[in-house]
Structure 1
């Protein structure tokens, strides 16, 4: 199959913000979707530690322009929520500093405490479940009802990739509880952008043995973990998962932000790296949600470059 006509023309994108019921509170969502035509799938995108639902605009818009309803919840581990709750830190919730929390030691230290606190892991799982439970209402406000259920993927960056791993079958050891699985079969595929390996947040040897769905793992040679791990640690979800529709991309000289996808990236970013991530993510979704043979051919043809950026690419 020739992939030269893939991915086709991009369409206009609509963006809406609204809230859904979540227990006794309201859960804010940012949704992007094609302004015209039928959506071919749904992506629930999980922001990283300290982020928010308005993040990852470029990638989200790209996916929406090629046929996906992309849903962005905001989780309680955002820096705005922390700044509001911990006024003693001296940061305004809407101040410019909170988006760059990684370069401010008081914020960074508190955020890393949150990262390793199981309550916040579980809040993310619960909120994603609330999104999926309310899909009919979300579709009514965006793409409209579909005659048949649309396939869905879970995706995320950093802490969001951790959330995505759990929902696609990675098992963790919960402190005081033992092994737990949070697999949600409503997701047919997962995208892990700068995810985690063993020895952190309950992940350990054997965590990925039941991760049997389609999974894309992406990192870069300048990436690293919160405890000082190098980029090889970021590849463990690929290497330790069973074979079958698993993909790994390692972008040359890309750091944790993979070209600058987020508001809290302290570096200038790199457009060609972001393009590589966008194209690869779309090809993976088209192949495994939309069953697009041209997207599969594009993935099959990948070798040492993705879009216009050098990379290592593996599949199994």
Structure 2
């Protein structure tokens, strides 16, 4: 790897701290049919720790996304990962009466996490009194990107009511949307339109600052468009957004669900390292911690002789 590329992945990142991870922390969830199981990961040192609530992709669970969750926790964030109802670990059949509302249950899961920060904090030895509740970000991959996006102002055309409800959460002040679906309607394949009718997002009210991450080879089977479909959350939302395009990346962005996860079709430690550090640097800037790391990351990509990606902002 060239010296300029090492700068992208290593500069301006503090040495990782030891982390502690507790699972499952169980939150009562009346009306959900299953209590909400959550994993909490945090560094063993530091105070005033910012929070990332993370929504997994379809079928995953609190055990997924170690490459991101462990990195973020080792570099100063508390990472909270709920297991949504579509997780393979729960085995809910497709004809379950909750299935049409899975997208909404997911959003409620994230809000329930934020409602119970006291309980989650108390469940992790040594974490008491160390959370910064004024610095909260929502992040998600794939289906989880839409879920996290709802807390940022993204609206879903509910297939049952035909309405778009505002589910934005003022406690969340920044977001990271990884490989997140674009427009619905005519942009969907017939299969997606039939089986995923909730994939009709509107980005016009998604005003919370966010970093959108897309792979330039993520040719989704759910859309009749190409990889540019995954950039809609950036181009169709109001300003105050940034876009990281990861070169050569498919839907797993090099392996963020886990290098041995069956979803990973494009395993690349270099791409994962890029996503780790760029998202970390962005969130530190967006949450008002410091912006030198974000500036350095953007500069390094611009100046690299063989960049792994491109950042643009508006």
Among residues 47, 57, 62, which one is paired with 1:38 in the alignment?
A: 47
**Structure 1 residue 288, shift from structure 2 partner:** 1.3
SS at structure 1 position matched to 2:206: coil
How many angstroms apart in 2 are the aligned matches of 1:190 and 1:236? 15
Does residue 240 (structure 1) correspond to residue 246 (structure 2)? The answer is: no
Indicate the residue corresponding to 1:256 in structure 2. 251
Indicate the residue corresponding to 1:203 in structure 2. 200
Among residues 66, 81, 85, which one is paired with 1:76 in the alignment?
A: 85
How many angstroms apart in 2 are the aligned matches of 1:303 and 1:56? 24
Among residues 265, 269, 273, which one is paired with 2:271 in the alignment?
A: 273
How many angstroms apart in 1 are the aligned matches of 2:76 and 2:145? 22
Number of residue-to-residue matches in the alignment: 283
Among residues 120, 138, 151, which one is paired with 2:102 in the alignment?
A: 120
Structure 2's unaligned 5+ residue stretches are 1-7, 189-197
TM, length-normalised to structure 2:
0.82
Indicate the residue corresponding to 2:153 in structure 1. 169
Among residues 107, 112, 129, which one is paired with 1:145 in the alignment?
A: 129
**Structure 1 residue 38, shift from structure 2 partner:** 1.5
Among residues 196, 207, 212, which one is paired with 1:217 in the alignment?
A: 212
Indicate the residue corresponding to 1:98 in structure 2. none
How many angstroms apart in 1 are the aligned matches of 2:86 and 2:14? 37
How many angstroms apart in 1 are the aligned matches of 2:232 and 2:216? 14
Indicate the residue corresponding to 1:312 in structure 2. 310
Distance 1:183 1:147, change over 3 A: closer
Distance 1:68 1:160, change over 3 A: same
Among residues 26, 30, 44, which one is paired with 1:19 in the alignment?
A: 26
How many angstroms apart in 2 are the aligned matches of 1:147 and 1:128? 17
Indicate the residue corresponding to 1:189 in structure 2. 174
**Structure 1 residue 266, shift from structure 2 partner:** 4.4
CA deviation profile, 1:25-73 (whole Å, cap 9, x unmatched): 5321111100112143000011000101110011111100111000000
SS at structure 2 position matched to 1:185: coil
Over the aligned positions, Cα root-mean-square deviation in angstroms equals 2.6
How many angstroms apart in 2 are the aligned matches of 1:8 and 1:252? 26
How many angstroms apart in 2 are the aligned matches of 1:243 and 1:227? 27
TM, length-normalised to structure 1:
0.82
**Structure 1 residue 23, shift from structure 2 partner:** 2.0
Structure 1's unaligned 5+ residue stretches are 87-109
**Structure 1 residue 300, shift from structure 2 partner:** 4.2
Indicate the residue corresponding to 1:89 in structure 2. none
Q: Is the 8 Å Cα contact of residues 224 and 231 (structure 1) preserved in structure 2?
A: yes
